[in-house]
Structure 1
Amino acid sequence: MKFDNPEDIIQLTPLWEGERFPNGRPKVPSDILRRMRKITLEEAWGPLWNRGYTNQFEGDLKIVHPDRVMVGRAVTAVMVPKRPDLHDALMKYGHEQEGRRGFFNQWVIDSIGEDDVVVVDLYDKIYQGTYVGGNLSTAIAARTKQGGAVIWGGIRDYQQVVHIDGINVYYRGSDPTAIADCTMTGMNVPARIGKAVCLPGDIVLGSPTGVIFIPPHLAELTVVQAEKSQVRDVFGFIRLKEGVYTTAQIDAAWNVELWEDFLRWFNGADEAAEYRHLTWERELEEARKLPGGPGGPGGDVRL
């Protein structure tokens, strides 16, 4: 049994076709992470739900900084209650065969880098289940720059953690005890966080309502669809205030004339400047194919 095994990680994430870290973990581009920070959790949820990914969200968590959005690539860990023979064998293997130092939680945090988020299934253990405190949270902040942690378990040193810049932590509860009587059985393996499943390399989007785990092969699509929804809303609000369209027209499938009005606005309006990397040929072409053709009922096509 190996921790953080590249062959296992690649096997778990076959739909990812992009760059990978040396350990095989999918490396979603930094630009996608940057854009992800500007979308809402609900905007990310829709594309996943519509594609059958219905176990990606968990909201029953406390948050160190509820007003901050957290985005990063998942580094996962799975813990179980301590059984002495298993615990000793895995600790010995990690120390002697893989050169790791300290306790299991330190192994994981020593492996993370910029824009990572530590995602830990600690089986809802809080008493002696405090995965991070002041020191390890400081290490996470230093290594990830703007990442953090999602812990289905506990934390300690809350009064220190809350003052650490560049980190957010989602957790189940706090306790003054140190972590004990638990064993890590997997690193960068599938992890369960409440009702949600997270794989290594998933994009973690944390909001005031909870966390969602976005498969890497759907990250760009999720961002693009969210951005398209945002800019169409901006256009719709403007035209509604101007009295050009009714709410029924804006909320229904757009006809070709409405799409063409939108595209003229999109290509020239200051409000649309940050969205001009988006393209709309597919939507316009699909609208033209629907009954009635130009001027008839249009289509609003999901990506």
Structure 2
Amino acid sequence: MDATKPGLDGYGRDVYASAKGDVDEATIERLRGVSVATAWSVLSKAGILHPCMAGVTPLSDPEGLPLVGRARTLRYLPLREDLLPLLRAAGHANPQRQLFELVGSGDVVVIDAMGQTDAGTLGDILATRLKARNVAGIVTDGCVRDAPFIKRMGIPVFTKSVHPGANTSALLPFEFDGPVQCGGVTVLPGDIILGDEDGVVVIPAHLAAKVADDGLEQERLEGFLRIQVENGESLRDAYPPGPRLREAYDAWCRENPHG
């Protein structure tokens, strides 16, 4: 096997294997009913122990959440001044501009800024273009600039911080639609990004249906248990539920088949 072929790592493995078999729209829609906390639990049980991006929180109005969509990735490197003329000469052919013209409905732009907080990864004009392309949202472990506008633009934006500086003051856009890290989590193009007020988790594409199935069931069970605790049940009996409450839950599900 030729490990130099695009999409293969140094061991000859297909780094895009997770993204093969596109996640269908029905699964993405069902994931809207799964919280980030619940998705984290399901992924942990499935062996994905660190799916949550560290330090990445919503900048935008929580009314626009949850964020759910397929990852489209952009990787920045630290700026090296002798490469800046090449970036400027590339103009709209640079990786950032190329990606921003290729994304579309349901995509989440995931920007790997290496956690740097001394420049913005994008500002109001670029964010406006992404909104016009109907992206589902923007996620970065760096900063955005023009935050007052971006907060009000009407799409979910998750970021580590804000900074007024342009990206070229500290960052160099290097590659798009390749493997990246964001907030310490590996992201492949096609992975599912789920974000709410608890943060952002990365769902490998091949686990999306499982997270939707198991997550919706967990949400339903925990909703039932909250009611029981509100009505006086002890944590000893309710969390986790013992046989009595399990039977009560099963009966409740039969009486309320649609939730």
TM-score bin, normalised by smaller chain: 0.7 to 0.9
RMSD: 3.3
* Mapped contact 1:126–1:154 kept (Cα < 8 A): yes
The 3 A distance-change label for structure 1 pair 123 and 239 is closer
- Could you tell me the TM-score, scaled by structure 2's length? 0.80
Distance 1:226 1:106 in 2: 36
1:148 corresponds to 2:123: no
% identical aligned pairs: 24
The one of 209, 212, 219 aligned to 1:230: 219
Unpaired runs of 5+ residues, structure 1, are 19-26, 275-303
Distance 2:14 2:241 in 1: 41
* Mapped contact 2:60–2:152 kept (Cα < 8 A): no
Aligned to 1:287: none
Distance 1:238 1:130 in 2: 44
Distance 2:105 2:178 in 1: 20
* Mapped contact 1:104–1:183 kept (Cα < 8 A): no
1:43 corresponds to 2:38: yes
1:170 corresponds to 2:158: yes
The one of 10, 15, 23 aligned to 1:12: 15
CA displacement, residues 106-164 of structure 1 (integer Å, 9 cap, x when unaligned): 1121111111111111123344x32221111112222235x111112221111211221
Distance 1:63 1:237 in 2: 26
Q: How far off its partner does 1:214 sit?
A: 0.6
The 3 A distance-change label for structure 1 pair 189 and 151 is same
CA displacement, residues 168-227 of structure 1 (integer Å, 9 cap, x when unaligned): 211223233322153333322221122222111111111112111010111111111111
The 3 A distance-change label for structure 1 pair 240 and 123 is closer
Distance 1:240 1:109 in 2: 48
Aligned to 1:112: 103
- Residue 51 of structure 1 aligns with an amino acid whose one-letter code is A
Following superposition of structure 1 onto structure 2, how do residues 200-279 of structure 1 map, counting pairs within 5 Å?
Answer: 200-237=189-226, 248-252=236-240, 255=243, 262-269=249-256, 272-274=257-259
1:184 corresponds to 2:173: yes
Distance 2:185 2:206 in 1: 18
The one of 115, 119, 127 aligned to 1:137: 127
Aligned positions, number: 249
- Residue 97 of structure 2 aligns with an amino acid whose one-letter code is Q
Aligned to 1:74: 71
The one of 57, 62, 66 aligned to 2:52: 57
- Residue 149 of structure 1 aligns with an amino acid whose one-letter code is I
Unpaired runs of 5+ residues, structure 2, are none
Distance 2:149 2:175 in 1: 29
Distance 2:20 2:198 in 1: 31
Q: Which has the higher contact order (CA 8 A, sep 6+)?
A: 2
* Mapped contact 1:57–1:210 kept (Cα < 8 A): yes
The one of 101, 115, 118 aligned to 1:124: 115
Partner SS for 1:176? coil
Following superposition of structure 1 onto structure 2, how do residues 26-37 of structure 1 map, counting pairs within 5 Å?
Answer: 27-37=22-32
* Mapped contact 1:66–1:207 kept (Cα < 8 A): no
- Residue 12 of structure 1 aligns with an amino acid whose one-letter code is V
Partner SS for 1:137? helix
Distance 1:237 1:208 in 2: 20
Q: How far off its partner does 1:45 sit?
A: 0.4
Which entry has the higher C-alpha Rg, 1 or 2? 1
